[in-house]
Structure 1
Amino acid sequence: MTSSADWIAGARPRTLPAAVAPVLAGTGVAAHADAAVWWKAALALVVSLALQVGVNYANDYSDGIRGTDADRVGPMRLVGSGAATPGAVKAAAFAAFGVAALAGLVLAATTAWWLVAVGAVCVVAAWYYTGGSTPYGYLGLGEVMVFVFFGLVAVIGTTYVQVEAWDWAALYAGIGIGALACAILVANNLRDIPTDTVAGKRTLAVRLGDERTRYLYAFLVLVAAAAVVAVAAATTWWALLGLAFLVRAVPPARAVLGGATGPALIPVLAATGASELLWSLLVAAPLLLA
């Protein structure tokens, strides 16, 4: 019988900062525009967290039935380890997507109905990352999905449902958050290059190779730093405090560039997630105060 601890582990709680960060950043931009609506921010957080958990369960299910997780280096997977049946994990994924859809419908009903289409695309993209007959995550497009949906869409969407107008600062914040969210996936796929190659999973890391994937990780950290400057230029120069995220981001970047492999890359994932959360906190705080 699958324990509650197994289900919590399967939800991959260490990835949840990547769901919290865009909502913090987007709400900071909304607050700077004197348009923060806290109950909408809370609902946006529910949407983001539920989508993240849904993606994690969906990936667990799809990779598990394909046998990709049979020889896994990273954290335990429910289907791959046999801790839960594929059907149960699939049901958990769609339950999480359902929660995201309900919260999203409330936001759409109180903002603009075309947001329903955006939400539907998010759910479809989340499922087909590793689901379906030709998952795009197996074609090297996972980083694109993460950048677009957990960066641009999440941040801009959070701002829009509160401000109900376009804000350039939201775009810049989305780029910064998206870059660090991508860096998490890049580090994950860098670790899994050997097993993914054997399983036929052609991630971007497999396509680029070990060395270029490490440079890509470092480049994404630099993009996140540049995005802080762009947000500050569009809002308040106090937002440059966000550059302090580099204190947390530099050590994992050194580990990646230094040649860390296998289990040694697992702490890099947690550190990169913490860097993303710190980026959002340090950028949003000055915007809230200003």
Structure 2
Amino acid sequence: MNRWVEAARPRTLPLAIASTILGNILAYVNGHFNWLIASLAILTTLSLQILSNFANDLGDTQNGIDNSNRKVALRAVQTGAISPAEMKKAVYLSAIISFLTGLTLLYFSLQHASLAIILTFLALGVMAIAAAIAYTVGKRPYGYIGLGDLSVFIFFGLVGTVGVYFLQTLEFKISTILPAAGCGFMSVAVLNLNNLRDLENDKKQGKHSIPVRIGKKAGFLYQKFLYILTILSFGLFPMVNTGTPPTFLQSSTMLAAYIPIALLANKLHDKLSPAQIDPFLKKTALITLWLILVFGFTQIFLSE
């Protein structure tokens, strides 16, 4: 059991549910909230993240990315703790579970929606499952050509937040794109740290992640730029949403989330070794969840 728990990468799960929690918070603030829909959305997101982690473990080993040169954050298939055949079965099972939980979510949330909307969300669900697998599995995984950042931004930012908001409210509100984008930027930041940690090995094995393409120094500048975009996205939301600037109390409370991001960014530089970079993945993921919770507090309790 321990090997499967480790392969599921528990430290990635707080980040996975961040966008789902954010979408539910935005729906609650707008007077729409259903606990069953919220719970099913979180369960579906967790299933997709675990599917992605299993597929990543399998694909990176099969394609030679995870090899004997990898010394930090060793993977289950790479080390032989789980065989490729076992992991392949786990990928299939996780995909089925993700599909079933997603289907259940759509059943309870879209009972009064049009057929076009139902088919749209069904297509998004299938695309999310396909994206989780195709990131590293197959002959032409899109994660190896630098498209992982875009996929993470879309699914762990925009779709996760705006999609859950719609499932709760059955309406689209353009202002929700801002915090959704902020959550997406933080998710990309975690992926970029992962790619910065693995840069040298990825370069040798032909995986062209963003840091491999632009270099380590520029990769850390990109990381800090993502943090800046996150703060701007959340900071601008109150004005776009209500047409008025955030209150002093809202702004000062949000500093409790912005300051940890700034302190984290200040510690990141291109002299860090892979082993030194690795802990920042968990820190960024947890800070993302903290950011969502602080934002939710300001919207629920400190709005005029």
Determine if the TM-score, normalized by the shorter chain, exceeds 0.5.
yes
Q: 274, 284, 295: which is aligned to 1:262?
A: 274
Deviations 1:161-206 (A, max 9, x none): 0011002232111101000000001111011111001111111110
Of structures 1 and 2, the larger Rg is shown by 2
The one-letter amino acid paired with 2:213 is: R
**Equivalents in 2 of 1:247, 1:5: separation in Å?**
36
Note the alpha carbon deviations across 1:65-106, whole angstroms, 9 max, x for none: 122111223322111111111121122122222222112112
Q: CA deviation at 1:107?
A: 2.3
One-letter amino acid of the counterpart of residue 50, structure 1? S
Letter matched to residue 254 of structure 1? N
Residue range with higher mean Cα deviation, 275-284 or 98-107: 98-107
Letter aligned with residue 83 of structure 1: A
Q: What's the counterpart of residue 73 of structure 2? A: 75
Indicate the SS of the match to 1:166.
coil
Q: 1:279 is matched by which residue type in structure 2?
A: L
Q: Distance in 1 between matches of 2:262 and 2:95?
A: 34
Deviation, 1:232, is: 2.1
Partner of 1:244: 256
Deviation sequence 1:209-230 (CA, Å, 0-9, x none) = 1111000000000111011112
Partner of 2:113: none
CA deviation after TM superposition for structure 1 residue 239, in Å: 5.1
Distance in 2 between the 1:74 and 1:280 partners? 29
SS of 1:113 mapped into structure 2 = helix
- Correspondence for 1:152: 158
Partner in structure 2 of residue 88 of structure 1:
86
Contact 1:242 1:280 survives alignment (8 Å): no
> Structure 1-normalised TM-score?
0.94
Letter in 1 for 2:102: G
Aligned to 1:273: 285
State the partner residue of 1:221: 227
Q: Which amino acid aligns with 1:109?
A: Y
Equivalent of 1:53 in 50, 53, 58: 50
Q: Deviations over 1:224-273 (max 9, x none)?
A: 10111122221564654334222322333122236322100011111111
CA distance in structure 2 between the partners assigned to 1:209 and 1:219 by the alignment: 15
Tell me, yes or no, if the aligned pair for 2:102 and 2:125 is still in contact at 8 Å.
yes
Aligned length: 287
Match of 2:106 in 1: 108
Task: Please identify, of 65-74 and 45-54, the stretch whose mean Cα deviation from structure 2 is larger.
Answer: 65-74
Aligned to 2:32: 35
Q: From the superposition, tell whether residues 243 and 260 of structure 1 become closer, same or farther in structure 2 (CA, over 3 Å).
A: same
1:24 touches 1:284 (CA, 8 Å); kept in 2? Answer: no
1:17 and 2:23 matched: no
The answer (yes or no) to whether the contact 1:12–1:56 under 8 Å persists in 2 is: yes
Per-residue deviation at 1:145? Answer: 0.6
Residue identity in the other structure for 2:8: A
What's the secondary structure of 1:16's corresponding residue? helix
SS in 2 for 1:93: helix
Aligned partner of 2:299 in structure 1 is: 287
The percent of aligned pairs where both chains have the same amino acid is 30
**RMSD of aligned alpha carbons:** 1.6
Structure 2: gaps spanning 5 or more residues? 111-116
- 1:123-272 equivalent positions in 2, closer than 5 A: 123-233=129-239, 234=241, 237=247, 240=251, 241-257=253-269, 259-272=271-284
